[in-house]
Structure 1
Amino acid sequence: MTDRTRHLVAALTGLGLGLAALGPGLAPGFVLSYDMVFVPDPAFTRLTFGLTGVVPRHVPSDAFVTALAAVVPADAVQKLVLLAVFVMACTSAASLVPSPRLLPRLAAGVCYAWNPFVAERLLLGQWALLFGYAALPWVVAAAARTDEPGGGRRLVRSLLPAAIGGFAALAVSAMTALAVALVTAPGAGRYRAGLRVVAAAGVLSLPWLVPGALRPAGLPGDGTAVGLFAARADTPFGTLGSLLLLGGVWNGETVPSGYGAPVVATIWLVVVVVALAAYGRWCREPVWRRGAAVAAAAGFAVAALGAVAARVLEGVIDLWPGFAVLRDGQQFVAPLAVVVAVGLGVAADRAAEARWPGVAAAAVAAPVLLLPTLAWGAAGDLRSVRYPDDWARARQIIDGDPAPGDVLVLPWASYRSYPWNGGRRVLDPMPRYLHRRVVVDDAVTVGGTTVAPEDPRAVKLAPVARTGTPPAATLRDEGVRYVVVDAEPGANRPSGAATEVLRGPDLVVYRIDGAGGGVRDAVPVAPVVAAWVLTGLAVFWSIAASRTTLSFPLLGGIKPRRPHPRRRTP
């Protein structure tokens, strides 16, 4: 069997896993869950590129989705992106297993694509983070060869999914790549390899780094919120044990149904420990072995930091707000997932060498059997819905109005539990749905504690907006043209001279005449355009110079280990 065939089988296996996991989410419509917000007919706006002054966490992932939606219906784009996560994850992890056998490779691929980390982040709606996670094994392989001729180009290509995912995905991938490059490169080459990793990650970060740095309000970094987003126990083995098992997400509502039961958790613990032991004992040929282990250890330490040393992390964030990305520490167990997956594949390979094919097959099936509630849309939690007709009429009215002015959304809360979405929580879609500047409450409340809002417009309007009946005169003076009430319409409406232009069962729209042009976007356009141009040139250089596509030359590059010849015994 050729490498190309092995990659194809792994990709098809990943596709099957994706179909099984998404289930009802593949029906026409959109899956809306926590941070996963897709809208019909998205448009390129100033928000898309982080020019409105909000923290550009959605850059460049929103631009990626909007570009695809120009040629494919937006709901189909969402399904393709989510399926791509499973396909890439299974294929990339399978390519790292140093064996020509198919079952060991599939064991690694299935483990990497179907585990508590993927399930919890999928339910949390963080598809952009998972997009980068899916390509992390390719990053490991490319980072190990960074010091070789063409190594920089390979590294940039491998980091592209993380670059699309944005700041969190790229932070995880860059940390992993740096650890692998520094440990793997020989002697003086370590300095050069490290610089190449930093340069590649830096240039791919420019689309979100530049608008973030140019925000008038600066980089937000609330060290007091460390405890809110720290890893939490979701198994009987405590926080550290849960992280070792690739779980431990901060949001208990996104833990898959049934996960963490003592018997199942114990079996999964045995699988993980066996995989780690197999990785340490038998995975010796690949040049990236030690580097990946160091990255996994470093990621585990970062993941545990908020839970075991919160004050240290708070102090680090106070030194530089950019370290706030470390608050949600559980996302940094991603490199540990690579090691566990490869270790399981290596263990399956040793079982196959010992002529125990049943053990190798069990290694392939174990992750799915131990986490069955990821199937069928996470046991029905991920279902496709359609936006109500009232939303389309509201967009037609608001976007068709030539008069300037912003949109304020009530009630004043960041997440919604719409009845038409089955009551599932989702970040308010209105800023992406409308093509005007939309002001929403971007404060996050966890367990009764609220993290301060970051959008300067939201901070300024919060005192009147949180009352539910903001004075129309005040909103007019602040440049608000429309008020959209997309939940609890009876308790929320502007007081004073506001004209109701749409009332439906799902939302109400009010117009405030005489509003000015709103507040000018404070992030300058020219530096952001330059950032996109530089990133685009780097991507073009990485692809064109190698005369390859992004497919198998990126996926391959790991020479399989041949089975050791067996001596015949007399």
Structure 2
Amino acid sequence: MAGRMRHLVAALVGLGLGLAALGPALAPGFTLAYDMVFVPEPVFGRMTFGLTGTLPRNVPSDALAAALGAVLPGDLAQKLILLSIFVMACASAASLVPSERMAARLAAGVCYAWNPFVAERLLLGQWALLLGYAALPWAVGRAAGVAGRGGGRLLLLALVPAAIGGFAALAVSGLAALTVAVAASRPRRTAALRVVASVLVLSLPWLVTGWLRPAGVPADAAAVEAFAARADTPFGAVGSLLLLGGVWNGETVPEGYGHPVTATAWLLVVLAALAAYGHWWWRDRDRAYAGFAAAGLAGFAVAALGAVAPWLLRGLIGVWPGFAVLRDGQQYVAPLAVVVAVGLGLAVEWMLPRLPVFAVVCTALLPVALLPSLAWGAGGRLQSVRYPDSWEGARRVVQADRTPGDVLVLPWAAYRSYPWNGHRRVLDPLPRHLTRRVILNDAVTVGSTTVPTEDPRARELDAAVRARGPLTEVLRAHGIRYVAIDAEVPSLTAALRPRLPGARVVMAAPELTLFEIPAPRRPVDPAPPLVTALLAWIVTISAIGWSMSGTPITLVPHSTPFSRRKAPTCGS
């Protein structure tokens, strides 16, 4: 009962942190920021399952959003997901602290749920990655005992949030779990095989569709520097990574973060946490906690690779395109965040008998005080908005039409800064909002570097769209039924009309204009085989069901309190 109460308290503190961090984003409506795109009435479409020929970056996270949106209003589903990240992060990190004192556990939970990594990834809209991050302490805890009886089943269950997050989240959690298993479990070969098997079976929905896409997996190594960690503190890129920051996108750094005074204070906290962690391990020599430290060190090395040795990462991508998952290096400091959080909990454990007031301050206030700009929707940068009525009108028009054909979106770019969204940059929501296949230019430009479009249909149309000649016949031949202009640029609509002879405007509004192309050819998407994708989903879902079968299993087991010399495999 005491163990359950500790987990409940940590979860409630995490809920409080989520409420404080999200603030205005919890008002009715949708929060749209960079990659965070939720829509009203999400549908299960070909894109949901990676069957459009594009890389399945949103598999299976879009399926979770669609499933929740089927039983809840779409905006409520989004808020539930975002709050769950903070709840899981606080509860999971608290469960790894080898102490029965609530203050020590909560110090770790607060630190893990409220830090630069969470702030920057939240502003970048990467909620799917944060799902895996939130459950990472559970995953590494289970990995420490994966070679034991039932260890594979428990690890697989702990990796489910990362699996929902998709390839990036599972890559981070899988690498950390493998490192912990090899360092902490005996026999090592059994432990490593179980981790690899768990990661592979959970990866099948996106792994199969990604590798079987007819266009193959792009091997673009030119963007290594663009997505490498960058300095957002006075301590350079590597120092910023040590402080759990260093995201590649400077626009997603919290307001005021990196000031020399607060950055130095946060550096001292991180160093003190690492020292406390090292001191505790040196005294107790627990293999599990040695594994956590090894995972943190390995993740830190991967995170720094693009900034320190970009040539090496470019070479790896040239050898095997799959190494491109390492380009966005900062996401691999997540295991280090586990070590820092647990270390802060151990520091508070040491201080409680000696400096009780200061220990309580560290628990409740220190991470929040050093990063106040995460509060209230990151200082108002995360706001709830409502989609314009014209968007729902366009959805009804497209849905009622029985003529086959896809939708082309202009302006020819992936990101938008809608006035109705406060000019905040966001990935175009139309592919998720409309019930047809939507084609847009998904090339990403970072500084002077452009990562080419990965959609083969967009590549085929790129030259024609960028030219100034007539478009109707080209679009008809490529199976385009509608052209949607979803930016408030009247000159763009006026310029497009002469290029679409024979097309008619079926809806016109300041926020969205829809042109209808007459009699298009039936579109053909070079996509992975449907049957193979279906089998992959069946195997993954069956494996998750197996992990929950038999005796009741939870991510945080209800066990007796542990001694200081016996580290938990996942919680206490």
Instruction: Give the TM-score category using the shorter length.
Output: over 0.9
Q: Deviations over 1:522-556 (max 9, x none)?
A: 211000000000001100000013333x3542x87
Please report how far the alpha carbon of residue 140 of structure 1 lies from its aligned counterpart in structure 2 after TM superposition.
1.1
Q: Is 1:223 matched with 2:215?
A: no
In the other structure, the counterpart of 1:436 is 436
1:255-294 correspondence runs (5 A): 255-283=253-281, 284=284, 286-294=286-294
Is the deviation greater in 380-389 or in 511-520?
Answer: 511-520
CA distance in structure 2 between the partners assigned to 1:464 and 1:558 by the alignment:
67
Please report how far the alpha carbon of residue 560 of structure 1 lies from its aligned counterpart in structure 2 after TM superposition.
5.1
CA gap of 1:359–1:507, structure 2 versus 1, over 3 A, is same
Contact 2:24/2:380 (8 A) holds in 1: yes
CA gap of 1:562–1:318, structure 2 versus 1, over 3 A, is closer
Matching residue within 519, 524, 542 for 1:514: 519
CA distance in structure 1 between the partners assigned to 2:492 and 2:561 by the alignment:
61
Please report how far the alpha carbon of residue 467 of structure 1 lies from its aligned counterpart in structure 2 after TM superposition.
4.1
Please report how far the alpha carbon of residue 505 of structure 1 lies from its aligned counterpart in structure 2 after TM superposition.
1.2
Please report how far the alpha carbon of residue 470 of structure 1 lies from its aligned counterpart in structure 2 after TM superposition.
5.4
Query: Match of 1:225, SS?
Result: coil
Query: Match of 1:407, SS?
Result: strand
RMSD, matched Cα: 1.5
Contact 1:95/1:558 (8 A) holds in 2: no
1:200-215 correspondence runs (5 A): 200-215=198-213
Query: Match of 1:42, SS?
Result: coil
CA distance in structure 2 between the partners assigned to 1:557 and 1:409 by the alignment:
57
Partner letter of residue 498 of structure 1? Answer: A
In the other structure, the counterpart of 2:570 is none
CA gap of 1:286–1:101, structure 2 versus 1, over 3 A, is farther
In the other structure, the counterpart of 2:15 is 15
Please report how far the alpha carbon of residue 356 of structure 1 lies from its aligned counterpart in structure 2 after TM superposition.
2.7
Partner letter of residue 492 of structure 2? Answer: A
CA gap of 1:484–1:536, structure 2 versus 1, over 3 A, is same
Matching residue within 239, 242, 247 for 1:241: 239
CA gap of 1:495–1:94, structure 2 versus 1, over 3 A, is same
Please report how far the alpha carbon of residue 27 of structure 1 lies from its aligned counterpart in structure 2 after TM superposition.
0.5
Partner letter of residue 512 of structure 2? Answer: L
Q: Deviations over 1:117-141 (max 9, x none)?
A: 0000000000000000000000111
Contact 2:53/2:456 (8 A) holds in 1: yes
In the other structure, the counterpart of 2:127 is 127
Please report how far the alpha carbon of residue 220 of structure 1 lies from its aligned counterpart in structure 2 after TM superposition.
1.6
In the other structure, the counterpart of 2:564 is 561
Please report how far the alpha carbon of residue 364 of structure 1 lies from its aligned counterpart in structure 2 after TM superposition.
3.2
1:107-122 correspondence runs (5 A): 107-122=107-122
Q: Is 1:150 matched with 2:155?
A: no
Query: Match of 1:133, SS?
Result: helix
CA gap of 1:233–1:518, structure 2 versus 1, over 3 A, is same
In the other structure, the counterpart of 1:567 is none
Q: Deviations over 1:177-203 (max 9, x none)?
A: 0000000113xx100000000000000
Contact 2:145/2:181 (8 A) holds in 1: yes
CA distance in structure 2 between the partners assigned to 1:480 and 1:435 by the alignment:
14
Query: Match of 2:273, SS?
Result: helix
Q: Which runs of 4+ in 1 moved over 6 A?
A: 555-558
Q: Deviations over 1:32-76 (max 9, x none)?
A: 000000010001011100001010010000001101111111100
Q: Deviations over 1:239-276 (max 9, x none)?
A: 11000000000000000000000000000000000000
Contact 2:3/2:561 (8 A) holds in 1: no
In the other structure, the counterpart of 1:490 is 491
Is the deviation greater in 361-370 or in 168-177?
Answer: 361-370
Q: Deviations over 1:75-132 (max 9, x none)?
A: 0000000000000000000000000000010000000000000000000000000000
CA gap of 1:457–1:558, structure 2 versus 1, over 3 A, is farther
In the other structure, the counterpart of 2:412 is 412
CA gap of 1:51–1:413, structure 2 versus 1, over 3 A, is same
Q: Deviations over 1:269-293 (max 9, x none)?
A: 0000000000000143654111111
Matching residue within 537, 540, 547 for 2:545: 540
Partner letter of residue 273 of structure 2? Answer: A
Contact 1:98/1:286 (8 A) holds in 2: no
CA distance in structure 1 between the partners assigned to 2:468 and 2:248 by the alignment:
30
In the other structure, the counterpart of 1:141 is 141
In the other structure, the counterpart of 1:568 is none
In the other structure, the counterpart of 1:2 is 2
CA gap of 1:177–1:368, structure 2 versus 1, over 3 A, is same
Please report how far the alpha carbon of residue 373 of structure 1 lies from its aligned counterpart in structure 2 after TM superposition.
0.4
In the other structure, the counterpart of 1:344 is 344
1:14-163 correspondence runs (5 A): 14-163=14-163
CA distance in structure 2 between the partners assigned to 1:178 and 1:467 by the alignment:
50
Query: Match of 2:226, SS?
Result: helix
In the other structure, the counterpart of 2:534 is 529
Please report how far the alpha carbon of residue 23 of structure 1 lies from its aligned counterpart in structure 2 after TM superposition.
0.2
Structure 1: any 5+ residue segments left out of the alignment?
564-570
CA distance in structure 2 between the partners assigned to 1:286 and 1:44 by the alignment:
46
Contact 1:227/1:306 (8 A) holds in 2: yes
Please report how far the alpha carbon of residue 447 of structure 1 lies from its aligned counterpart in structure 2 after TM superposition.
1.0
CA distance in structure 2 between the partners assigned to 1:145 and 1:498 by the alignment:
63
In the other structure, the counterpart of 2:510 is 505
CA distance in structure 2 between the partners assigned to 1:507 and 1:355 by the alignment:
61
Query: Match of 1:514, SS?
Result: coil
CA distance in structure 1 between the partners assigned to 2:70 and 2:224 by the alignment:
39
CA distance in structure 2 between the partners assigned to 1:207 and 1:557 by the alignment:
37
Partner letter of residue 36 of structure 2? Answer: M
CA gap of 1:32–1:350, structure 2 versus 1, over 3 A, is same
In the other structure, the counterpart of 1:373 is 373
Query: Match of 1:223, SS?
Result: coil
CA gap of 1:247–1:470, structure 2 versus 1, over 3 A, is farther
CA distance in structure 2 between the partners assigned to 1:365 and 1:337 by the alignment:
18
Partner letter of residue 330 of structure 1? Answer: Q
Please report how far the alpha carbon of residue 557 of structure 1 lies from its aligned counterpart in structure 2 after TM superposition.
8.4
Contact 2:138/2:555 (8 A) holds in 1: no
Q: Is 1:361 matched with 2:326?
A: no
Contact 1:469/1:495 (8 A) holds in 2: no
